[in-house]
Amino acid sequence: MADYLRDVGKRPVVPAVAPGEIRRALPAEPPAAGEPFEAIAADFRELILPGMTHWNHPGWFGYFPANHSPPSILAEMLTATLGAQCMSWQTSPAATELEQVVMEWLRGMLALPADFTGVIQDTASTATLVALLTARDRRGTDPRMLTVYASTEAHSSITKGARLAGFAPEHIRAVPVDAAFAMQAGALEALMAADAAAGLAPACVVATVGTTSSTAVDPLRASAAACGRHGAWLHVDAAYAGAATILPERRALFDGVELADSFVFNPHKWLLTNFDCSAYFVRDVPALLHTFAAAPAYLRTAHDPEVVNFRDWGIQLGRRFRALKLWFVIRSYGVEGLRAMLRRHIALAEEFRSWVEAEPGFVVPAPSPFGLVCLRHEPPALAGDGAALDDWNRALLSRVNAAGDVFLTHTQLGGRYTLRLAIGQWQTERANVARAWELIRSAAGAT
């Protein structure tokens, strides 16, 4: 493990394997007798490791980060060693109470109001489903009459969650966005008012801070006002960007978050905590419990009146001890250490953006308030030909990634194929970002 962390930067970020290749190298049948650990470890090194995509490679610029750190890794080893199933207070008192303490620390770090209570979920997708289910129940109307709103740039987990929560697909509204890809508050209000006038009941608005394509920031204050007028729940999806609420100088981007009903962000994306760990904060805990509490006789304990049983705060019964790694991370780095990491990534993103903007032929199509920069290369010869530009940028991206030193992914922004460079791995240095830019320029044919 230590060797891996030291040497991961020397590996290609993404393995050069063909589909099925790894599977064919592995026996189809399990061994009848146990094998020596040396044989298992050797196969791990020779068959598995070369087939991994290295999310914690310093040249990782794809998707959003899933960064980790040495203290988080050690905590995961301890969690695995303890092997506890932390569904209720009695099944591990320290796990429950540490989760309460670190979520209270986090709430303070994020500057969320004191009437928010935190619980750790596995992923933001689950937390958003939890919010949608709670919002549905709190509205107390025939679910077929309920409506849900999110921008056209919202994450796919919103639509998926709304469908799973039983909202009718035709009542899931896609609110248009402005030139900066943020939800248009006026359009949200108009859609909600039209639905209410038609006898439907607006149940939930999901606003995003830091959309997946471009880190756009939806207007939270105006969304909260619309929710107030129509009796809807406001859920804020800040899965990636939420980590940046710990930066006083970035807090203005979250203006109005204190008016939300729930908020989710992933320490497993940009806060040095191993996947998975998603922090969900909710204001109306009784509403949450109303939707999720279930206490069959075999789970009841004498302590129930005095304790929190987190099994009643989400979908699954069994729970991992995720608070431990968050505790190790926050204690090891301190709030200032975590801020320094985020600031370093944001400064690198700003510097990268300045390089792109200064280079003729390159376009930066969206604001970049966090660690992500979107870009396109638009050579004059292809000007105005959207399909040709898309093909050109697609080919450019595969040339950049082919070197194996860096890995970027793409999105579609304003209908156009767009490259994304997301900075957030803990070992990423300026040299890695500079290497990415060098590869992009040379793939674009610049000198």
Site for ligand PLP, rule CB under 6 A: 64, 123-125, 155, 157, 208, 210-212, 237, 239-240, 266, 278
Least Å distance, CB 218 to ligand PLP, is 10
Would you say 85 or 159 has its CB closer to ligand PLP?
159
Least Å distance, CB 434 to ligand PLP, is 26
364: number of CA atoms within 13 Å, CB side?
Answer: 18
SS3 119: strand
Least Å distance, CB 126 to ligand PLP, is 7
Would you say 151 or 309 has its CB closer to ligand PLP?
151
Least Å distance, CB 204 to ligand PLP, is 15
Would you say 241 or 389 has its CB closer to ligand PLP?
241
Would you say 266 or 274 has its CB closer to ligand PLP?
266
Least Å distance, CB 370 to ligand PLP, is 11
How many other CB atoms are found less than 10 A from the CB of residue 105?
A: 16
SS3 141: coil
Would you say 185 or 206 has its CB closer to ligand PLP?
206
Is residue 305 within 8 Å of 317, Cβ to Cβ? no
**In which residue are the tokens 């970049």 written?**
368
Least Å distance, CB 43 to ligand PLP, is 29
Name, in order, each residue with C-beta under 8 angstroms of 280's C-beta and a sequence gap of 6 or more. 118, 119, 120, 121, 127, 130, 131, 262, 263, 264, 314
44 token code pair: 């791990």
Least Å distance, CB 27 to ligand PLP, is 32
Least Å distance, CB 264 to ligand PLP, is 8
Least Å distance, CB 37 to ligand PLP, is 33
Would you say 125 or 147 has its CB closer to ligand PLP?
125
β-pairing, 117-121 vs 278-282, is antiparallel
Would you say 92 or 212 has its CB closer to ligand PLP?
212
Amino acid present at 200: L
How far is CA 374 from each of CA 320, 355, 366, 408, rounded to the nearest angstrom? 36, 13, 7, 10
User: Could you please report the per-residue DSSP string of 261-274?
Assistant: SEEEE-HHHHSS--
Quote the CA–CA distance of 423 and 429 in Å, as a whole number: 10
Least Å distance, CB 320 to ligand PLP, is 14
Q: Which of 341, 340, 435, 444 is nearest to 59 (CA)?
A: 435
The percent helix, strand, coil of the chain (3-state, each to 5) is 50, 15, 35
Least Å distance, CB 20 to ligand PLP, is 26
Is residue 363 within 8 Å of 404, Cβ to Cβ? no
End-to-end Cα, the chain, rounded Å: 40
Is residue 327 within 8 Å of 75, Cβ to Cβ? yes
Would you say 237 or 390 has its CB closer to ligand PLP?
237
Would you say 239 or 329 has its CB closer to ligand PLP?
239
Show the DSSP H helices in 26-177 as ranges: 37-43, 70-82, 93-109, 124-139, 156-164
Would you say 92 or 214 has its CB closer to ligand PLP?
214
How far is CA 289 from each of CA 95, 263, 281, 372, 434, rounded to the nearest angstrom? 20, 17, 13, 36, 49
Would you say 230 or 250 has its CB closer to ligand PLP?
250
